[in-house]
């Protein structure tokens, strides 16, 4: 019989990821702060838990997909948390994007109870979560990774073991640098094209066929053409990641001048009340500055 898996955090990303585990035949126990996602998973065959502690009591492997470092610390180490029922043979796989230093600290505390932890943040956004094509970046003990690999492969297409605990988080921060700068560069390029009076669809087709082509441009093209920015990954969350990036960079002594500028642009976008937009919505800030509109209004 397949081992029981616990899943904590059924948001935009976590809900479809949990569904893939059910489809793969894993028995699943779930927990979430709001009730509707839990009920949705229950209808598909999952069991509900009232607390993180209950999740780990019933599961061999617990996956967390949470917004930020304090959320992971609370679930893992707080009252009613995983640590209260931690034991040898249990494993936490944190797939959130948090500070790698926090991952290392949580792992050290769980290790005192004999419990292993992997940090395994993902890239690919809501689309990747729905299609099970995520890139999963994993740090932690190699034996724990090998044990978890089939589970991760049910949710992602590219699963890479990168080294000790925290390694996955550092690579995810590098990923978020590249994505934020790419989206900002795409926004500047498309605003320039719009201001010049070019056909947006033709311009994107030309750009996508050359060196300027990217996964960001490919995935976000419908957003630009329809000027619709329903979140696959919110500006607020990417802004949070940019804060983690700058914190890590200062600790490592790494200057990130372009990232710092992009962080301020995301901050300005949030100040306009647009933190709930998809992160490709950074283009709306550039539109404001240039006095031009890209794409068709929905």
Say how many C-beta atoms besides its own lie within 10 A of residue 142's C-beta: 11
Q: Strand locations in the chain, DSSP E? A: 5-8, 28-31, 47-48, 61-64, 91-94, 116-119, 122-123, 134-139, 156-163
| Cα radius of gyration (the chain) | 20
Q: How would you class 100 by CB atoms within 10 Å of its CB: exposed for 0-12, middle for 13-18, buried for 19 or more? A: buried
Q: Is 195 a catalytic residue?
A: no
Catalytic residue among 172, 220, 234, 240: 172
| Half-sphere exposure at residue 88, Cβ-oriented, CA atoms within 13 angstroms | 0
Residues 6+ apart with CB under 8 A from 239: 263, 266, 267, 270, 275
The CA-based angle 13-17-18, given to 5 degrees, is 120
**Pick from 158, 168, 161, 153: which is nearest to 26 by CA?**
153
Say how many C-beta atoms besides its own lie within 10 A of residue 101's C-beta: 16
8 Å CB contact between 189 and 282:
no
**Pick from 108, 116, 65, 66: which is nearest to 86 by CA?**
116
The catalytic site residues sit at: 172
């Amino acid at each position: 019989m397949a081992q029981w898996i616990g899943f904590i955090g059924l948001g935009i990303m976590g809900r479809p990821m949990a569904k893939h585990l059910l489809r793969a035949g894993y028995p699943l126990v779930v927990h979430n702060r709001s009730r509707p996602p839990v009920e949705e998973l229950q209808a598909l065959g999952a069991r509900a838990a009232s607390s993180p502690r209950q999740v780990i009591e019933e599961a061999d492997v617990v996956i967390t997909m949470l917004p930020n470092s304090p959320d992971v610390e609370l679930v893992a180490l707080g009252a009613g948390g995983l640590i209260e029922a931690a034991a040898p043979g249990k494993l936490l796989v944190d797939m959130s994007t948090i500070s790698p230093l926090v991952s290392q600290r949580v792992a050290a505390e769980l290790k005192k109870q004999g419990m292993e932890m992997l940090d395994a943040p993902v890239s690919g956004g809501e689309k990747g979560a729905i299609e099970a094509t995520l890139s999963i970046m994993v740090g932690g003990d190699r034996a724990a990774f090998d044990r978890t690999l089939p589970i991760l492969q049910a949710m992602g297409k590219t699963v890479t073991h990168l080294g000790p605990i925290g390694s996955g988080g550092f690579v995810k921060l590098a990923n978020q640098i590249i994505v934020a700068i790419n989206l900002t560069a795409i926004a500047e390029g498309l605003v320039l094209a719009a201001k010049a009076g070019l056909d947006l669809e033709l311009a994107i087709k030309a750009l996508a066929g050359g060196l300027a082509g990217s996964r960001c441009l490919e995935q976000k093209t419908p957003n630009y053409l329809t000027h619709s920015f329903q979140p696959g990954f919110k500006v607020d969350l990417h802004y949070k990641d940019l804060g983690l990036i700058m914190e890590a960079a200062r600790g490592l002594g790494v200057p990130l001048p372009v990232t710092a500028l992009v962080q301020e642009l995301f901050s300005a976008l949030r100040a306009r009340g647009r933190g709930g937009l998809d992160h490709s919505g950074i283009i709306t800030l550039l539109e404001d500055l240039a006095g031009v509109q890209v794409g068709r209004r929905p």
